[in-house]
Amino acid sequence: MSIGTCKTRHRTVSVNGLELFIREAGEPDRPAVLLLHGAPSSSHTFRNLLPLLADTAYLVAPDMPGFGFSEAPPQQRYEYSFENIASTIEALTDVLGLKRMFLYVHDYGAPVAYQLALRRPGRVLGLIVQNGSAHDEGMVGIWDDAKAFWADPSPENRAKLPDWLNFEGARAVYLDGVPQRLKPLFPPECWHLDWERMSRPGNVEIQFKLFEDYKNYVARFPDISRYHREHQPPCLIIWGRHDVYYALEEIIAYARELDRLEMHVLDGAHFLLETHCRECADAIRGFIASAAR
């Protein structure tokens, strides 16, 4: 492998009139992995993982519209729904010539990934699930106020929502639930970058729009369960057990539906790659080799 393919490469790709920033590593003739980030982050989440797997796969990590270094057009020009973002990412895979791929699912990456899987299940080589929910079991406690707002988006229910679309909220997503001994492993540029991008004009409103649309993803959980049972994609779960956003019971729901399931529960939290990147890379490398057989 040439030195250029071992290292992460960065570029912007034009997709349906949008400029999307992507990070990629590895050679295109290897099994493809599409890595879909969560909120409020971006492909920056995967910066340490990509070079560790460049000898195994062709990895593509895009910044979704409105995130990271991708374009964030105003809502008048772009519909900020997970269904529409999935259409944009699907178009990106066509531009890049990705025919079949593993889907890395994290946080907000889950509704995008599952839109892709439900539309074209034959393209999915396998699922890599890292602290992202696709079942009711994973969304308990902390989600109660969100569910109340989705059911009745009144001013009273909106006032009950936590104030998270700010700098402190961006920082909290990284550190909430993290054991004190692990907190020094988190570089502060993570949340500083997220907030710098999120505070672009109109972007906080975009983020709230996506939060509102998340209810439509939750409503599709039964469709996802049917997809799991009918298509039985190979699945690797790598999970930070201290995650305060998605409950550990989510794993049991996956186990109920999938036959080819490998699980690793690690001593991390929501942004597991910040503390356990090498362990995750080792698990992913073995999973890709196994799923390819």
Q: How far apart are CA 114 and CA 119, in angstroms?
A: 8
| Catalytic residue set | 270
How many whole angstroms from its chain centre is CA 102? Answer: 13
CATH number of 3-291: 3.40.50.1820
Cβ pair 241, 265 in contact under 8 A:
yes
The domain locations on the chain are 3-291
Q: What is the pLDDT along the chain (293 residues), one digit of tens a residue?
A: 444 457 899 999 999 999 999 999 999 999 999 999 999 999 999 999 999 999 999 999 999 999 999 999 999 999 999 999 999 999 999 999 999 999 999 999 999 999 999 999 999 999 999 999 999 999 988 999 999 999 999 999 999 999 999 999 999 999 999 999 999 999 999 999 999 999 999 999 999 999 999 999 999 999 999 999 999 999 999 999 999 999 999 999 999 999 999 999 999 999 999 999 999 999 999 999 998 76
Peptide bond into 40 cis (omega under 30): yes
Q: How far apart are CA 84 and CA 113, in angstroms?
A: 12
The length of the chain is 293
